[in-house]
């Protein structure tokens, strides 16, 4: 099960004097314990295995980032395990821990949120410290940790913790620490302490706080104050201390929605390929469920239901495929490495398995040993290959042969003479085994997790017969919690593999036997398995909200209930329906039990209704009561239309997830704006950043209209990052014509912080079609998406933010539309259901128009009335009614000239401007800025009588509208927008440093 610990501690908190292996005898239990529990890195040391090396070409010191080159007389060392390179002179200052002990330094493991397999240039692996170039790798979407695919299993689970709310904690007790992640710093990063450069393009070096983007040298970090204030984004950061996510086995990716988008993309491509939808869907569901499987724990044999076993099996299969790829990659790298290193001909490559499970899964490491090497040397090499820092005396090796007895190898004879068989073309393989000092008793370490008395782990003596119950009692006493509270705690087994998985132990399980079992299966896994005390009560509380989308719209509550229960099953009912968004076919259901919620999640995510896959999300919770005290804080809710503007949306969302709390960043491809608005419904004050086209802005505003009354903050101000083309509203608000990718996401967020609030009038466009015979109502049917229309009178209503056009201008909208169509964007538009109708309508219209000769007679087909007065129309082919003074991607149809008749228009004056277009030539001139439109009228209430079917558009979304009456009136729904200020600012890092400087001097 995924853990969701609620303590933002510094990642290096308790320092064990050796690894998390429970091998100590009774002699070293207590005394050593107390000193180590409160110790620091110095006591453990950095853990590297340094050996002297001659650097024949320029290399760089991972500590100080300066050059090492033996030829010019500078000597250096390299760590045999993690390739940490260091000057001789820097060696005594090294504080960066070796990859072999990084995991042991973690107090509360937090899993990374891995990207898909990617290629990255100019970055370094956080495990083996080598370049990632040309090799498959993973990136953490939250903290910028990078690993080679083959290094992933050795990654330390030390990601940024983004949901740390602890009930009962006073605001004064909440301390946010920096989260230091190593290396891959932005170019020209300067150290916050010594002001010197602390980045390198040549090696993994320097540290960066994943919250406040402060950068520092390894050693200088200790002089920077420990507390983190979130740096330049503190005004809009959603603090982790107010967020909870339920303790479930669901990976983080499913909560912040990284995974689901990826799967959706997969699905689309798969569907295209196979055409067999049903099969594809099951395949995906399996894939999804297997990805939540418990990695590598396949044979601990404890209480695995058949379902779980199946899942693990799938996981293994998946692993196998992945491994194939990695193996070939490994081979490549080895030959590459060989070129670098001088190899002696007596070297032999040996496969090492670290346990039975690894053998079954065919996961091994390879080591290169001299043919004459003894067992001890081989053990040492094997330990290093698994990033294990431990006394080799605790290990031994055996020959691993599939299907035959394991043979222990003699310590004195050279290893290869025993292993090599002339007829075998296979590489020799070995088991690395752990030597039990006494198989019947030992010590286990119990960590306190997020208990209020936060200390280091405690060693608990156990025998083969000690039960979890006994351990609980003993541990509670040692942590000073008293055994009377035993019923409030669980002992959990936590495994820090590439996800952090946890399992609640039942009271009669035997921890010592569990450890023995795991170590037989995989030593690597044993080292990453721990026991934690955990309060039974989840800090998230007992309400778990699931958001469900893609249901049909406008059903009754009973119908929604029926559909959902049909998928979930009667044996697992939810406790309540949280809210129903009828217009959107979306429902939030509430469970009061984590396991039940996960079961429902798993059933719903594979459910298909009306040929659509249901969308299901597990929502985080914001403890809004804590935000009321933080007056200077206005958290930002970020919506990204990932599919807008090519892949720019993808880049932006990745950047924002890293810069902010990922729980405040929502992908609109994942249920639209509603999940985010639901999560923020109790936040007293917040701002919204919408990344997408004007259509996306309209979509978010429209959802805000709908959820406003249920939210504490009814009209949060909205800023825009324009994606794609058009973007008239964004232009008017100074957010630019379209994001180019050149702008730093950090600068965008600073602009949002500084932006001014401004009101945006909004308008309701009501169409009352004339009574028509059958078959003529298609346009109306098409409009029902957002209408509050009643079927009887065919009236439909739209909210208009930008402009409304009739005639020629709507024709032009087709061009916009087609342009957008090139970046297919199903979700971009609140009108998407109408696409088909509109296309038909336009084709028809074009035909009609070409049939009619001399179509410059719109004035004969429509009648215009402004504020109750009839207005005579000049000869025009189209009219445009404007709320904002930008149209057609940045033109101003109203024009700049002064005019006595009309007042200067704004988008908050309660007035609309009506302009006319005489023809295609005029339209072209307007587009190129040579002419403006013909000013016709200005007013707050517009009525138009349409005598025939005409093309119309609202905010650039066109269709063909039958004859009837159109009324445009001011909507009660007003929006507050954010307008970018004109002030230019200096470069990002400079500003930040000038902010942090006073803090340093005061500390
Ligand atoms: Zn150095
Ligand atoms: Zn090392
Ligand atoms: Zn690596
Ligand atoms: Zn991470
Ligand atoms: Zn920080
Ligand atoms: Zn420094």
Q: Please determine, for residue 724, whether its predicted confidence score (pLDDT) is greater than 90.
A: no
The strand ranges marked E within 664-726 are: 665-667, 687-692, 718-722
First to last CA, the chain: 41
Beta carbons within 8 Å of 991's beta carbon, 6+ residues apart: 232, 750, 985
Q: How many CB atoms lie within 10 A of CB 372?
A: 12
Read off the pLDDT of residues 118-148 as tens digits, 9 standing for 90 and up: 888 889 999 999 999 888 999 998 898 999 9
Q: Is the dihedral of CA 699, 705, 710, 714 positive or negative?
A: positive
Weakest mean pLDDT among 12-21, 405-414, 615-624: 12-21
Residue, of 469 and 415, whose pLDDT is higher? 469
- Specify whether the CB–CB gap between 82 and 128 falls below 8 A: yes
- Cα 957 from Cα 702, distance rounded (Å): 15
Which run of H or E residues covers position 264?
helix 258-274
Read off the pLDDT of residues 220-274 as tens digits, 9 standing for 90 and up: 998 999 899 999 999 999 999 999 988 887 777 777 766 544 444 444 444 444 4
Ligand nearest the Cα of residue 130 is: 3
- Cα 727 from Cα 735, distance rounded (Å): 9
Ligand nearest the Cα of residue 65 is: 1
Percentage above 70 pLDDT, the chain:
74
Residue, of 620 and 934, whose pLDDT is higher? 620
- Which residues are in the CB-under-5-Å shell of ion ligand 4? 112, 140, 142-143, 145, 159
- Mean pLDDT: which of 176-190, 264-278, 713-727 is highest? 176-190
Nearest Cα neighbor of 599 from 302, 301, 292 is 292
Average pLDDT over residues 339-363: 73
Q: How far is the CA of 61 from the centre of ligand 1 (A)?
A: 5
The strand ranges marked E within 678-795 are: 687-692, 718-722, 756-760, 763-769
pLDDT at 41: 38
Sheet holding 76-79, edge to edge: 50-53, 76-79, 85-87
Q: Please determine, for residue 863, whether its predicted confidence score (pLDDT) is greater than 70.
A: yes
Q: How far is the CA of 45 from the centre of ligand 2 (A)?
A: 11
Ligand nearest the Cα of residue 210 is: 5
Q: Is the dihedral of CA 549, 551, 553, 558 positive or negative?
A: negative
Read off the pLDDT of residues 841-855 as tens digits, 9 standing for 90 and up: 454 455 455 444 345
Ligand nearest the Cα of residue 217 is: 6
Ligand nearest the Cα of residue 214 is: 5
Q: How far is the CA of 216 from the centre of ligand 6 (A)?
A: 5
Q: Please determine, for residue 821, whether its predicted confidence score (pLDDT) is greater than 70.
A: no
Q: How far is the CA of 175 from the centre of ligand 5 (A)?
A: 11
The CA-atom distances, in angstroms, between 532 and each of 92, 478, 509, 847 are 34, 13, 15, 74
Q: How far is the CA of 327 from the centre of ligand 3 (A)?
A: 13
Task: Identify the band that residue 999 occupies on the pLDDT scale cut at 50, 70 and 90.
Answer: very low
pLDDT at 305: 42
Average pLDDT over residues 439-445: 86
- Which residues are in the CB-under-5-Å shell of ion ligand 5? 178, 209, 211-212, 228
SS3 content of the chain, % helix, strand, coil (to 5): 35, 25, 45
Q: How far is the CA of 697 from the centre of ligand 5 (A)?
A: 32
pLDDT at 314: 53
- Cα 576 from Cα 555, distance rounded (Å): 17
pLDDT at 203: 93
Q: How far is the CA of 66 from the centre of ligand 1 (A)?
A: 6
Q: Please determine, for residue 777, whether its predicted confidence score (pLDDT) is greater than 50.
A: no
Q: How far is the CA of 254 from the centre of ligand 3 (A)?
A: 26
Q: Please determine, for residue 827, whether its predicted confidence score (pLDDT) is greater than 50.
A: no
Q: Please determine, for residue 786, whether its predicted confidence score (pLDDT) is greater than 60.
A: no
Phi, psi of 82 (to 5 degrees): -110, 5
Q: How far is the CA of 251 from the centre of ligand 4 (A)?
A: 13
- Cα 677 from Cα 672, distance rounded (Å): 10
Read off the pLDDT of residues 22-66 as tens digits, 9 standing for 90 and up: 333 333 333 333 333 333 333 457 889 899 999 888 899 999 989
Ligand nearest the Cα of residue 61 is: 1
- Which residues are in the CB-under-5-Å shell of ion ligand 6? 191, 193-194, 217, 220
Q: How far is the CA of 67 from the centre of ligand 1 (A)?
A: 8
Q: How far is the CA of 122 from the centre of ligand 3 (A)?
A: 13
Q: What is the DSSP letter of 152?
A: G
pTM: 0.79
Ligand nearest the Cα of residue 152 is: 3
- Cα 476 from Cα 458, distance rounded (Å): 10
pLDDT at 205: 92
Q: Please determine, for residue 626, whether its predicted confidence score (pLDDT) is greater than 70.
A: yes
Q: How far is the CA of 112 from the centre of ligand 1 (A)?
A: 30
Task: Identify the band that residue 322 occupies on the pLDDT scale cut at 50, 70 and 90.
Answer: low
- Mean pLDDT: which of 375-379, 427-431, 503-507, 815-819 is highest? 503-507
Q: How far is the CA of 103 from the centre of ligand 1 (A)?
A: 25
pLDDT at 345: 62
Residue, of 126 and 328, whose pLDDT is higher? 126
- Cα 461 from Cα 149, distance rounded (Å): 38
pLDDT at 590: 94
Residue, of 242 and 780, whose pLDDT is higher? 242
Ligand nearest the Cα of residue 90 is: 1
Q: How far is the CA of 158 from the centre of ligand 4 (A)?
A: 7
SS (H, E, C) 935-982: EEEEECEEEEEECCCEEEEECCEEEEECCEEEEEEECCCCEEEEECCC
pLDDT at 1001: 36
Average pLDDT over residues 732-760: 88
Average pLDDT over residues 406-415: 65
The CA-atom distances, in angstroms, between 863 and each of 544, 855, 880 are 55, 16, 14
- Mean pLDDT (the chain) is 76
> Distance of alpha carbon 938 from its chain centroid, rounded?
47
Ligand nearest the Cα of residue 114 is: 4
Q: How far is the CA of 386 from the centre of ligand 2 (A)?
A: 12
Read off the pLDDT of residues 640-659 as tens digits, 9 standing for 90 and up: 998 776 678 888 998 999 99
Ligand nearest the Cα of residue 129 is: 3
Q: Please determine, for residue 337, whether its predicted confidence score (pLDDT) is greater than 70.
A: no
3-state secondary structure of 884: coil
Average pLDDT over residues 682-710: 88
Residue 648 has which token pair?
């720019």
Task: Identify the band that residue 811 occupies on the pLDDT scale cut at 50, 70 and 90.
Answer: low
pLDDT at 94: 93
Q: How far is the CA of 989 from the centre of ligand 1 (A)?
A: 25
């Amino acid at each position: 099960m995924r853990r969701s610990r609620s303590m933002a501690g510094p990642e290096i908190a308790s320092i064990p004097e050796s690894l998390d292996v429970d091998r100590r005898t009774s002699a070293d239990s207590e005394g050593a314990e107390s000193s180590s529990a409160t110790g620091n890195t110095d006591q453990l040391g950095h853990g590297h295995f340094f050996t002297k090396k001659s650097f024949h070409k320029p290399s760089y010191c991972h500590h100080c980032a300066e050059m090492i080159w033996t030829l010019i007389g500078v000597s250096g060392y390299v760590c045999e395990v993690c390739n940490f390179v260091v000057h001789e002179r820097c060696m005594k200052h090294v504080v960066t821990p070796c990859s072999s002990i990084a995991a042991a330094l973690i107090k509360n493991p937090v899993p990374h949120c891995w990207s898909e397999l990617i290629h990255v240039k100019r970055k370094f692996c956080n495990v083996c410290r080598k370049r990632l170039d040309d090799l498959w790798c993973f990136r953490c979407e939250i903290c910028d940790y990078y690993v080679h695919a083959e290094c992933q299993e050795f990654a330390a689970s030390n990601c940024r913790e983004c949901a740390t709310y602890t009930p009962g904690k006073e605001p004064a007790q909440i301390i946010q620490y920096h989260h230091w992640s190593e290396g891959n710093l932005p170019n020209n990063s300067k150290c916050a302490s010594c002001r010197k450069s602390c980045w390198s393009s040549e090696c993994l070096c320097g540290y960066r706080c994943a919250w406040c983007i402060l950068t520092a040298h390894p050693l200088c970090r200790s002089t920077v104050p420990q507390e983190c204030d979130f740096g330049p984004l503190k005004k809009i950061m959603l603090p982790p201390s107010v967020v909870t996510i339920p303790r479930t086995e669901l990976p983080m990716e499913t909560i912040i929605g990284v995974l689901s988008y990826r799967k959706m993309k997969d699905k689309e491509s798969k569907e295209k390929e196979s055409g067999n939808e049903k099969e594809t869907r099951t395949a995906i569901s399996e894939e999804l469920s297997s990805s939540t499987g418990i990695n590598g724990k396949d044979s601990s044999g404890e209480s695995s239901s058949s379902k779980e076993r199946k899942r693990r099996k799938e996981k293994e299969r998946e692993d196998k495929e992945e491994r194939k790829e990695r193996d070939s990659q490994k081979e490549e790298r080895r030959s590459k490495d060989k070129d670098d290193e001088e190899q002696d001909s007596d070297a032999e490559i040996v496969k090492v398995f670290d346990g039975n499970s690894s053998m079954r899964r065919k996961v091994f490491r390879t080591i290169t040993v001299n043919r004459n090497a003894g067992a001890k040397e081989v053990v040492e090499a094997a330990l290093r290959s698994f990033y294990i820092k431990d006394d080799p005396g605790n290990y031994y090796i055996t020959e691993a042969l599939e299907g035959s007895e394991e043979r222990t190898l003699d310590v004195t004879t050279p290893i290869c003479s025993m292993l090599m068989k002339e007829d075998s073309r296979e590489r020799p393989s070995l088991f690395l085994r752990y030597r039990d000092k006494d198989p019947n008793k030992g010590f286990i370490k119990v960590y306190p997790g997020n208990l209020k008395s936060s200390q280091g782990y405690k060693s608990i003596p156990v025998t083969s017969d000690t039960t979890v119950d006994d351990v609980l009692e003993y541990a509670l006493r040692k942590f000073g919690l008293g055994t009377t509270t035993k019923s409030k705690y669980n002992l959990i087994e936590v495994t820090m593999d590439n996800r952090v998985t946890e399992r609640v132990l039942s009271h009669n399980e035997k921890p010592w036997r569990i450890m023995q079992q795991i170590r037989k299966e995989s030593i690597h896994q044993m080292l990453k398995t721990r026991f934690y005390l955990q309060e039974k009560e989840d800090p998230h509380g007992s309400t778990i909200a699931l958001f469900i989308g893609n249901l049909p719209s406008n059903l009754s509550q009973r119908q929604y209930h029926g559909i959902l229960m049909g998928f979930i099953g009667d044996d697992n009912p939810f406790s309540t329906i949280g809210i129903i968004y009828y217009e959107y076919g979306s429902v939030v259901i509430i469970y009061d039990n984590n396991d039940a919620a996960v079961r429902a999640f798993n059933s719903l995510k594979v459910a298909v209704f009306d040929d659509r896959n249901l969308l299901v999300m597990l929502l985080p919770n914001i403890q809004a009561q804590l935000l009321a005290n933080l007056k200077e804080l206005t958290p930002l809710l970020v919506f990204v239309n990932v599919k807008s503007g090519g892949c720019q949306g993808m880049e932006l969302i990745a950047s924002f997830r890293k810069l902010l709390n990922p729980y405040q960043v929502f992908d609109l491809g994942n249920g639209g704006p509603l999940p985010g608005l639901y999560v923020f419904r109790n936040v007293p004050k917040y701002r919204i950043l919408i990344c997408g086209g004007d259509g996306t802005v309209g979509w978010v505003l429209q959802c805000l209209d709908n959820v406003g009354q249920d939210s504490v903050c009814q009209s949060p101000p909205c800023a825009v990052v324009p994606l794609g083309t058009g973007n008239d509203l964004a232009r008017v608000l100074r957010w630019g014509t379209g994001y180019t990718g050149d702008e730093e996401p950090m600068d965008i967020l600073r602009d949002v912080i500084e932006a001014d609030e401004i009101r945006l009038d909004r308008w309701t466009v009501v169409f009352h079609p004339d009574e028509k015979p059958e078959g003529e109502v298609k346009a109306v049917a098409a409009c029902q998406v957002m209408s509050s229309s009643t079927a009887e009178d065919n009236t439909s209503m739209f909210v208009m933010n930008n402009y409304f056009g009739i005639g020629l201008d709507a024709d032009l909208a087709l061009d916009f539309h087609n342009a957008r169509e090139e970046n297919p964007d199903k979700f971009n538009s609140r009108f998407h259901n109408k696409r088909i109708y509109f296309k038909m309508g336009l084709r028809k219209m074009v035909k009609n128009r070409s049939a009619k000769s001399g179509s410059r007679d719109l004035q004969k087909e429509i009648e215009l009335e402004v504020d109750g007065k009839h207005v005579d129309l000049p000869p025009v082919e189209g009219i445009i009614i404007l709320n904002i003074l930008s149209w057609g991607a940045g033109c101003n149809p109203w024009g700049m000239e002064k005019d006595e008749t009309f007042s200067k228009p704004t988008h908050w004056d309660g007035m609309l401007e009506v302009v006319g277009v005489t023809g295609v030539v005029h339209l072209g001139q307007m587009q190129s800025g040579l002419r403006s439109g013909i000013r016709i009228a200005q007013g707050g209430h517009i009525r138009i009588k349409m005598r025939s079917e005409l093309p119309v558009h609202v905010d650039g979304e066109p269709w063909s509208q039958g004859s009837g009456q159109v009324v445009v009136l001011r909507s009660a729904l007003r929006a507050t927008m954010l307008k970018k200020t004109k002030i230019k600012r200096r470069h990002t890092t400079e500003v930040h440093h000038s902010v942090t400087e006073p803090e340093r001097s005061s500390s």
